[in-house]
Amino acid sequence: MNIETIHTKVCIVGAGPSGAATSIFLSREKVAHIIIDAAQYPRDKVCGDGLDLKAITMLNHIDKSILEDELKPRGKIQACWGFRLINPKGKYTEFVFKPSIGDENKPPYGVSKRFSLDNILVEKFDSAFADFLQETKAIKIERVENKWHILVQQKDKQITIISDLIVGADGDHSIVLKTVGERKINREHYAGGVRQYWQGVEGIHDKNLMEVYYPKTFPMSYFWIFPLGDGLANVGYGMLSSVAAKNNYNIREIFTELIKTDSILQSRFANATALDNVSGWGLPLATLRRKCSGNGWLLVGDAASMISPTTGEGVGTGMQTGFIAAKFIKQATEINKFDESIFKNYDREVYKRMEDDIKLFNLSMWVSPKMMGWVMNNIVPFNYFKRLFQTKVGQWLNTAYHKEIKVKLD
Ligand SMILES: Cc1cc2nc3c(=O)[nH]c(=O)nc-3n(C[C@H](O)[C@H](O)[C@H](O)COP(=O)(O)OP(=O)(O)OC[C@H]3O[C@@H](n4cnc5c(N)ncnc54)[C@H](O)[C@@H]3O)c2cc1C
């Protein structure tokens, strides 16, 4: 068979938030590249759809007007003004951020169906620099004389992309990771999660608070209700895989059972309707400290195991790795060198932004689940924490909306 060949300096595999951000920021650096995705956009991805401050920050880096455009006129992103923690005893603690006058379109959090969000991002691709190939799946990757030969399947056609650099942005089941490293699941650094869309969940806060509930019977797990507006919500449940394996828990069954029988949730779901089946997917956590760069390769997002271990959020951290990767790739293309030495500081730049999260998670693992329950019941509800939240979020928002992240290459 005659296989078509395409040459490029940079090939990004995967156009989810991490790959999309890499492409958008590379185009800003005027670096020509190919980005491929096995799917046709728009496409769904199992997720809680929650946008944390990191995600909001990166969306602002992509386009200062993205939130304003997508919040009201198109309604693709739902503004959330804080969160509600529901402790194991069922007590609500609400952290509501009150914006200053004029900042009503600058929420600290958001919820957006991945079907919409990921499409918003690929619509931002700059065709002057990015050649986006959809329905194009990498099926075999080989290293041949300092180049990557990426064999891709495009419907009934095969193409070989020959590239100096490969960026693995292909998520948790990354073929790039399988080529350059090892994708063996380490349950201490991995979680399982399920999601289902529901209509009519009662008691959603009028400021669209993102809700997290810690069920008493299942420590080291959490149940979420993330509001999407008009009575629609992304509802889900996640648990550390080591805990699930040790106790032989089935996350999907527990999720369904909690909705039906948990005394805190039952009344909220009594008149609600599930809109689809329960879908599940894995969450590779940043505590694994996976090596993210090497000779001619970089990993971003889930492929790099970059999900926040404390919140389970990976959209913002994934886009952040894309932003950082683009700076290193620009340098590499300028001097036409793609060996490991060029990327040696990439891991440092990535992990220094994850360090606090990793430390907090390690501390929570050290504290016993009973102690955690006590902290949730007795310490978190104090007004002091609510006031601290208001002040801290105000400071973070200033960064999220007005400052650019600085990456150190040397
Ligand atoms: C149940 C659950 C709930 C979650 N909730 C949240 C949340 O509320 N907020 C949050 O921030 N994060 C959440 N996460 C994590 C978040 O979903 C991921 O961190 C995020 O999707 C990572 O983005 P990514 O671009 O790295 O990978 P992905 O979004 O997985 O994108 C990878 C892309 O690569 C493509 N691809 C894969 N293989 C190939 C191939 N061989 N060739 C070509 N293309 C390929 C895929 O089609 C896909 O489009 C959740 C995860 C789960 C499982």
* CATH number of the domain that residue 178 is part of: 3.50.50.60
Q: Is the pLDDT of residue 372 over 90?
A: no
Q: Tokens 């693992």 belong to which residue?
A: 365
- Residue 18, ligand 1, Cβ within 6 A: yes
Ligand 1 site-directed mutation target among 11, 24, 37, 277, most atoms within 8 Å of CB: 37
Number of domains in the chain: 2
Instruction: Look at residues 264, 284, 304 and tell me which one is the last residue of a structural domain.
Output: 284
CB neighbour class for 171 (10 Å; exposed up to 12, middle 13-18, buried from 19):
buried
Whether residue 93 lies inside any domain: the answer is: no
Kindly state if the Cβ of 316 falls inside 6 Å of ligand 1: yes
| Mean pLDDT for all residues in the chain | 93
Judgement on whether residues 375 and 349 belong to the same structural domain of the protein: yes
**Which of 41, 283, 285, 357 for a ligand 1 pocket mutation test, highest count of atoms within 8 Å of Cβ?**
283
Q: Are 64 and 154 in the same domain?
A: yes
The answer to whether residue 409 is domain-embedded is no
**Hey, CA dihedral for 269, 273, 278, 284, is it positive or negative?**
negative
Token representation of residue 263: 């005394």
Tell me how long the chain is.
410
- State the helix-helix crossing angle for 17-28 and 114-122, rounded to 10 degrees: 20
Other residues' Cβ atoms within 10 Å of the Cβ of residue 173: 13
Residue 408 lies in a domain: no
253 vs 247: CA distance, rounded Å: 14
User: Which tokens is 339 given?
Assistant: 């060996």
Whether 94 maps to a domain, the answer reads no
Q: Is residue 133 part of a domain?
A: yes
pLDDT at 369: 66
Do 219 and 246 fall within a single domain?
A: yes
Output the CA–CA distances (angstroms, integers) from residue 279 to 111, 189, 231, in the order listed. 18, 21, 20
Q: Of 269, 284, 299, which residue sits at a domain end?
A: 284
Are the CB atoms for 169 and 22 separated by under 8 Å? yes
State the CATH number of the domain containing residue 219. Answer: 3.30.9.10
Beta strands in 297-340 (DSSP E): 297-299
pLDDT at 297: 98
Structure tokens at 180: 């350059």
Whether the predicted pLDDT of 236 surpasses 90? yes
Q: 300: which residues sit within 8 A by CB, 6+ positions away?
A: 18, 19, 21, 22, 167, 168, 169, 292, 306, 318, 321, 322, 325
Residue 402: pLDDT band with limits 50, 70, 90: confident
Mean pLDDT to the nearest integer, 234-261: 96
Same-domain check for residues 152 and 295: yes
Q: What is the DSSP letter of 307?
A: B
Distance from the alpha carbon of residue 80 to the mean position of ligand 1, in angstroms: 22
Q: What is the pLDDT of residue 61?
A: 95
Beta strand pairing status for 33-36 and 4-13?
parallel
Separation of CA 76 and ligand 1 centre (Å): 18
Give me the percent of the chain exceeding a pLDDT of 90.
78
Task: List pLDDT tens digits, range 326-348.
Answer: 999 999 999 999 999 999 999 99
Q: In this structure, what DSSP letter does residue 349 have?
A: H
What whole-number distance in Å separates Cα of residue 283 and Cα of residue 299? Answer: 16
Between residues 116 and 217, the one the model is more confident about: 116
- Does any domain span residue 95? no
- Decide if pLDDT at 366 tops 80: no
Q: Is the pLDDT of residue 181 over 80?
A: yes
**Do you find a cis peptide bond into 227, omega within 30 degrees of 0?**
no
CA-nearest of 68, 44, 46 to 117 is: 44
Do both 231 and 356 map to the same domain? no
Q: Please identify which residue in the block is written with the tokens 């096995």.
A: 38
Work out the pLDDT band at 406, boundaries 50, 70, 90.
very high
Q: Which domain holds residue 274?
A: 187-284
Where does residue 40 rank: exposed (0-12), middle (13-18), buried (19+ CB within 10 A)?
A: exposed
Instruction: Look at 35 and 102; give whichever has higher pLDDT.
Output: 35
- Rounded to two decimals, the pTM is 0.96
User: Hey, whose CA ends up nearest to atom 37 of ligand 1?
Assistant: 170
169 lines ligand 1 (CB under 6 A): yes
